[in-house]
A and B are shown apart, each in its own frame.
Chain A
């Protein structure tokens, strides 16, 4: 499935919810299902410090695709982190760099990406793109 197909799928999943509480319940559940973050990766260089919540993001690059592992101390943030990982992990740098993440807005979570929220999510997306850029130039050099 392409990134865009996956975005459409997530939008459809969220469309079935009647109200906010159901959407949050779903996010919380996804946050809980996110694979546990490797404790040895819980280091300052992989921490994205927000004012409201904190996010950890650990990348690895194998066979041309980037794998992201991530975590957050807040559950709803972790749910959104899980969505981002689901969409962007296991992709090539080009796929990540070429994508426009519209699904966040369409499932009504746009406010979570506003800079004033300072929950680490906006910085996390930026960081994912930066890693993609770095791996891309590394791959091109070798």
Chain B
């Protein structure tokens, strides 16, 4: 059996409460043992079947988990494929990702789910967990066969990309999904309030003469969905929370003990709508970048656990969809390769502890989606990220692994460089 030894790194696992210098022994793709480096007298010699990674001075964590990525395959392979999307994920330190159902065809039946899983097994480099649609064709009319979706490998259901306008359908989804204990991920947006808005409604949209999307377009649906979670007892997960009002609603729902979890994206945690000031379509996404007050509320929410986890909403778009008029340009940013560094930036600013940041990107997303991942125990699959916190890097879109380059962070220098990503004991990314 192949062996891998990760030597002398700072191993941080929030669940186990470990933060120290350890040697990690991996055998047959699983964690065999942890030994405190100072007490480890084992003779370690690399050789055939024995790989040794010297992690001295580096951070070693459970592999990162992203509960919100768009891999675009099947149907939009010119934007991203399962291959390129998982390579990008690996470069970002992610070892497990959930992929959204808004492909073509929509992942609304088990054959599409099986196709995605097969592709991921053959061509992907990280664990891919499909999210099934809530409604057939994401048309917001009829429920999908959730039990079959789950049997085929879906771990959650969502019409993400399309809001569920019909409150009655959302209610049935939250009720019916209880059969198979699938969380329902809500893209909370009232399209009648969002209208044809292209960015956050406020001073910046007024300056730019762009139609705005008020925070109320999100908050009113977050409030509705929380009321439905209360009514049904279903598992509700709010995707990409972007406003202060939503954070407050979720905080109250949690205090009440409802089964509600939530995520926020690195871009909503670090940018405001001022990023749009030069009509940069790479700063256009849905929900839009909000005000500094919203960003502050999201950060506080992440710190106090109201926002359970960080999720990227990695949404590749080609130049054909982005280098056009701002109001016609497609929504979405790629984010899976910049996520860790941006969240580590919050640590460097003193807003989060490293433990909180790692937790929000490992165990918390796993818990929200019910995945047996996000922590390393003896016997766990060896999904591991190795990161150099001391090093910085400048975001160069041309160098991103993702097929699409629509990042609002181009040219920015970020701290925290992913050195290696290991999935099931196999190194799937190694920085050149």
Please say whether chains A and B are actual partners in one complex.
Answer: no
